[in-house]
Amino acid sequence: MARTRDITFPQVVTYDGLPGSAGGAHSLRTKHPGEACQRLQSFVNACTEPVSSPSWAFEIRAGGPPASTEQLVALATERFGGPRHRAQTHTGWNVRPESVQHALDALITVGPDAVTTHGRSLAALTYNTPVRLIDPAARAPYPDITPDAFGRFAVDGYGRLLGDSGIRATLGTGASSLSLWLNLPADQRLAPGALHLQGHLPFRLSAKHWRLWRPTRSGDSYRATKIPSPVQDRA
């Protein structure tokens, strides 16, 4: 009788902070965009390794004070050239990495009270990047947490894959926030890894948005179940 080969399908733990139903992002807990950027970079440098170059964009929203809006449009046009798009609700520019400080300076110039009639930041600098998380013990990315390790399984229709972490930050004139999609190993490395992340963030990771992903019996798909926070009662 032929022997059946034992196959171990990998598992992974994800943190979705925060989904749209919970507000979409964590507050960076500062009204100063320069300080918010420092908090972002501190986390990125300590806990992640980039997969590709980040994308930066500058956005001015409609419905703000005319004088501040005019000032921001003039600054953005001078520094970044013509906008990449115009819409009824906002105007946006691509920002090269070497021009990020100019974008921050523009936000700082109009001050923290520059908001729209709906109370949103009049202008914001956004940051998007895929990353790999750092194993604090090895001081290197987890070698087994990659999209290929999980069959490039798509968790939703927005392009998010198991094994592929990502960061989106919004640095605004009224408030700044950070949205996280994090993938961690589902073994003894989970708690140290989660604590390492928590130690470099200015907010508390939510206890409600951790999930363990297990392969189905067929091995060609995954199912998720909520799990307790690996940070809770440890930090």
Helix (H) or strand (E) holding 167: strand 165-172
Question: Would you list the DSSP string of 113-166?
Answer: T-B-TTSSBSEEEEEEEEEEEEETTTTEE-TT-SGGGGTT-B-STTS-BTT-EE
Report the C-alpha dihedral over residues 136, 164, 176, 231, rounded to 10 degrees: -40
* Res 52: pLDDT: 93
Judged by DSSP in three states, 235 sits in: coil
* Res 1: pLDDT: 38
Low-confidence residues in the chain, pLDDT < 70:
1-9, 233-235
| Phi then psi dihedrals of residue 50, to 5 deg | -65, 145
The identity of residue 34, as a single letter, is: G
* Res 234: pLDDT: 61
* Res 233: pLDDT: 61
